[in-house]
Amino acid sequence: MNYHKLKNEIARWQQSGIISADQGNKILALYEHDVPIYKTMRFWLMSLAVVLLGFALFLVISANWQRFHWAAQSLIVLTPLIVAQIFAVRSELRDERLNADLGWFAASIALGANIMLQAQIFHISAYYPNGVLFWVIGMLPVLWWRPTTISYLLASALFATYMAMQMQYRQFSLLAFLPFIVLGRVAFVRQNAINTLALLINVYLFALMLLIYRDLRHPGMLWELSLLALALALMQRLHKLRDSNFALLLVFVSLLLHLFALIATFKFGARFLLGEPTWWTALPVAILAGAALYQMRSELREARLTLITLGSLAALFVIGLLGRAIDTAQNGEGQLVTRIGANVVYLGSLVALIFHAIAIRAKRLFLTSAAGLLLWTWIRYLDLFQDYLLTALIFALSALALIGLNKMWESKYEK
């Protein structure tokens, strides 16, 4: 579908009174991602050019900075912000959407430069992570009114930087809820893979920031597993997320789960799964995620794959709790149970995925799951033995096994 022709048609429908402006925007939002990449390349290249020109400008200014009076310094720093905002407003009035997005992005960068440099000019001394927080807060009105992917990514990166600073100093500000809420709202309004992934990262960092602020030690792998379950619940809430994007994110969560399960098969990983005395902090998150997914049980997207992933998460979580109970009762015997359980979860999950792939004729999922089984074989061998020649033989046989699986699939399911 030609997006630009659709846009012109919708404008004509609005002028004829067939649809309202709000309905037109909703229709365009449905097909916005159908624009070919080469037609949006100009916007991304111009955005990169804005960043590079900004760097060049401030480097030139820095070279002569001390020669200017403080009033001239302040005016020089303020000028790019005013120019970018005028350009953005002018583009909005002309209905030049890409130019407007570019202008607001440039204004967002100029805003950050003003916050940092104006503070330096007037010798304003403060807790410096707040500068990053105020930068994000200054972007929120534009994000609320004109949510774009590039502005959202900039705000998300800045917010993540701020949260990392806060974790370093074990601090927290109630103002952090403002960007957290607005960024979450934007991710729900503009549902795509990039925005959703940024949202999940922000949720993870925000929860970790609260944990560290309360001076609680990291609970261990149980915390990571509970947040993966929460990520599943959040993804299921994004009803407008494209099926392809949802499947991609679901695979990403599944890969993280299997990585954690594989790590837990080692001694250090088993200790990580058993966790710290603060393991109980993972329980409320896990219960919240489980309750949300249960409430949506009749409308789950990719239901089988979601249930396989969730079941494996729950099994690994329970194994961690069981191993911890045994470790406490029998003074260190829980690690063996945990390692055995992690192996069972890893293998059982991959076998379930293989049968699921066969049922839906998903060759990529089938071969990926088979490769995961072979990876487990190699790692278990390397963990127990150190015979390089035999390891090379196992690698060669594994490669032949993958080729055999591929041929078996083609002969049985692609005729």
Q: How do residues 20-73 score in pLDDT, each as one tens digit?
A: 777 776 666 665 554 444 455 565 666 667 667 666 666 655 555 666 667 777
Q: 353-409: per-residue pLDDT in tens? A: 988 888 888 888 888 888 898 888 778 776 655 566 666 676 677 777 777 777 776
φ, ψ of residue 116 to 5 degrees: the values are -75, -45
- Indicate if the pLDDT at residue 115 is higher than 80: yes
The whole-chain average pLDDT of the chain stands at: 83
User: What's the rounded Cα separation, in Å, for the pair 145 and 143?
Assistant: 6
Taking the chain, what is the end-to-end CA distance rounded to the nearest angstrom?
32
> Residue 197's closest CA among 209, 210, 183?
183
User: What's the rounded Cα separation, in Å, for the pair 374 and 354?
Assistant: 13
User: What's the rounded Cα separation, in Å, for the pair 353 and 149?
Assistant: 33
Q: Name the band, by pLDDT with cuts 50, 70 and 90, for residue 137.
A: very high
Dihedral Cα 405, 407, 408, 410, nearest 10 deg? 120
Judged by average pLDDT, the poorest of 205-209, 213-217, 234-238, 257-261 is 213-217
Q: 318-349: per-residue pLDDT in tens? A: 999 999 988 877 666 788 889 999 999 998 99
Question: Over the range 6-39, which residues count as b (16 or more CB within 10 Å of their CB) and which as e?
Answer: bbeebeeebeeeeeeeeebeebeeeeeeebeeee
- The percent of the chain in helix, strand and coil, each rounded to the nearest 5, is 85, 0, 15
Task: Give me the pLDDT at residue 102, please.
Answer: 81
More confident residue, 275 or 318: 318
- Indicate if the pLDDT at residue 3 is higher than 90: no
- Tokens, residue 292: 């949300």
Question: Does residue 236 contact residue 301 with C-beta atoms inside 8 Å?
Answer: yes
> Residue 49's closest CA among 102, 121, 126, 123?
102
Percent share of the chain, pLDDT over 90: 39
Q: Name the band, by pLDDT with cuts 50, 70 and 90, for residue 151.
A: confident
Task: Give me the pLDDT at residue 38, please.
Answer: 41
- Indicate if the pLDDT at residue 209 is higher than 50: yes
Span 230-259, average pLDDT:
92
Task: Give me the pLDDT at residue 35, please.
Answer: 47
φ, ψ of residue 266 to 5 degrees: the values are -95, 165
User: What's the rounded Cα separation, in Å, for the pair 106 and 191?
Assistant: 23
Q: Name the band, by pLDDT with cuts 50, 70 and 90, for residue 211.
A: very high
Question: Does residue 234 contact residue 225 with C-beta atoms inside 8 Å?
Answer: no
> Residue 367's closest CA among 352, 354, 348?
354
DSSP 126: -
Task: Give me the pLDDT at residue 50, please.
Answer: 66
Span 113-119, average pLDDT:
78
Sign for the pseudo-dihedral over CA of 101, 107, 110, 111: negative
Angle subtended at Cα 264 by Cα 261 and Cα 269, rounded to the nearest 5 degrees? 140
User: What's the rounded Cα separation, in Å, for the pair 401 and 367?
Assistant: 10
